[in-house]
């Protein structure tokens, strides 16, 4: 009850008070079942906005956040687990796959660019982790575009794209993984172009 109430407070604060968040394409995540969710990343609020739309969401986050025991306990209570950035973290990858395989309708949130992209950069580089996990677990990827670097009290659009089904067996093929990862990142930013063209 406390957990749900705290989440409701954070949702009101981040999605209604500090920002006005609008969601598009929700049917794409609601009907996806198990999947890997891949948004672009420019602000610390991004994971919250995606997390709010599914009770089955799990989040992969940088290991540095777990150094504080109190914060670590809070994160774990909301299905957040650590990964070491800039290194091959086989343990976290295996845990990610297990999360998808062992939990009904599990949706794993992973930022494909790996870190927040600064205002002076248009986009980052695609990491292969999300494609590896999705291929190994046999689940689709849901591309998501979130308004970049929004100002406080401004409108934020979070749009869920259509599921991307990867070719079978690419988790063992490095070049194929990178190729598919680049394609996923392209799809994420194409969603934003579609939004602009339809407004």
Bridge partners of residue 164, in order along the sequence: 141
Enter the tokens of residue 152.
Answer: 């406080």
CATH number at residue 192: 3.40.1130.10
- E-assigned strand segments in 34-186: 35-39, 57-62, 80-83, 107-109, 141-146, 155-160
The whole model's pTM is what? 0.91
Residues 6+ away with beta carbon under 8 Å from 37 = 29, 50, 57, 107, 108, 109, 110, 141, 142, 144
Residues 6+ away with beta carbon under 8 Å from 184 = 38, 112, 126, 130, 131, 141, 143, 164
pLDDT tens, residue by residue, 77-91? 999 998 887 667 788
Q: What whole-number distance in Å separates Cα of residue 123 and Cα of residue 105?
A: 30
| Number of domain units in the chain | 1
Q: What whole-number distance in Å separates Cα of residue 158 and Cα of residue 146?
A: 5
pLDDT tens, residue by residue, 4-52? 788 889 999 999 999 999 999 999 999 999 999 999 999 999 999 999 9
Which residue range(s) make up the domain with 66?
2-197
Asked if residue 197 has pLDDT above 60, the reply is no
Residues 6+ away with beta carbon under 8 Å from 3 = 77, 78
Q: How large is the average pLDDT for residues 183-189?
A: 97
> Residue 1 has what pLDDT?
62
């Amino acid at each position: 009850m406390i957990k749900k109430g705290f989440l409701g407070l954070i949702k009101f604060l981040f999605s209604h008070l500090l920002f006005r968040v609008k969601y598009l394409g929700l049917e794409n995540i609601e009907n996806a079942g198990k999947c890997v969710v891949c948004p672009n990343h420019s602000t610390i609020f991004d994971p919250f906005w995606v997390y709010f739309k599914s009770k089955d969401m799990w989040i992969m986050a940088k290991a540095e956040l777990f150094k504080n025991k109190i914060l670590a306990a809070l994160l774990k209570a909301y299905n957040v687990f650590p990964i070491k950035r800039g290194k091959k973290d086989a343990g976290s990858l295996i845990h990610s796959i297990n999360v998808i395989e062992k939990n009904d309708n599990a949706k794993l949130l992973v930022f494909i660019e790996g870190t927040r992209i600064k205002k002076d950069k248009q986009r980052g580089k695609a990491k292969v982790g999300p494609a590896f996990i999705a291929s190994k677990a046999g689940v689709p990827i849901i591309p998501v575009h979130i308004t970049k670097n929004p100002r406080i009290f401004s409108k934020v659009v979070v749009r869920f794209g259509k599921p991307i089904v990867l070719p079978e067996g690419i988790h063992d093929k490095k070049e194929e993984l990178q190729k598919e990862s680049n394609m996923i990142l392209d799809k994420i930013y194409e969603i934003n172009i579609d939004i602009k063209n339809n407004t």
